[in-house]
Every structure is written in structure tokens, then in C-alpha cells.
Structure 1
């Protein structure tokens, strides 16, 4: 059974939102890594760990 046009559009929009969230997580992980390297590691280590958990790393 084929998807209706509104359902296809919703699926496409949800897929785009999921992709944006994924890449935002990747960006956050990179920032947390850089902050950790610059000596703010203790303060931001929790953010770094959280990003790793959610990115599958």
C-alpha cells in the first residue's frame, strides 16, 4: 500500500529533523572535545560523555 502524499511529506520532514539532530550531536561532540583539550575538561566532561552516549560512540 502506497503512502499518501501528506504521509510522504511528513515522513520526509521527520527524516530531515532526525538528520539535523544527529549532526547537531556530532557538532556538540566536537565542541566538547575541543573544550576538553583546552583545559576545561573537568567542567565539560559530562557534556562530552553525554554526546558520546547519544552518538553511538
Structure 2
């Protein structure tokens, strides 16, 4: 999932460089959403791993 976040971030940067405002905004929003989903899943897996040890 982190790979998709990076892909959409790169798409947003390239689209912004070429002046495609709508495409850049959509790709940026999608990358941001995927990043936060990845972050939540990371924290959940971190907490579950700590609970298993303790």
C-alpha cells in the first residue's frame, strides 16, 4: 500500500509540473488518503505485536 502512495505522489508531482491542476489535486488527495490508511495499519500492527510479546 505504501508503494501506491508513492506512485500517486509521483503522479501528482509530475502533473503539477506540467500544469494539470485537476489531475494533480486528485492524485495528491488519493496519495494522502492511502498514506493515512497505511499509517493507521502500521500503528495497529505495531500495537498488536507489542501485545503478543507482553
Segments ≥4 residues shifted beyond 2 Å = none
Deviation of the 1:6 alpha carbon: 1.6
In the alignment, is residue 13 of structure 1 matched against residue 11 of structure 2?
Answer: no
Question: What does 1:14-33 correspond to in 2, within 5 Å?
Answer: 14-33=28-47
Which structure 2 residue ranges, 5 or more long, are not aligned?
1-18
Q: What TM-score does the superposition give when structure 1 sets the normalisation length?
A: 0.58
Higher helix share: 2
Distance 2:20 2:26 in 1: 10
Question: Relative to structure 2, which stretch is displaced further, 27-36 or 5-14?
Answer: 5-14
Number of residue pairs aligned between Structure 1 and Structure 2:
36
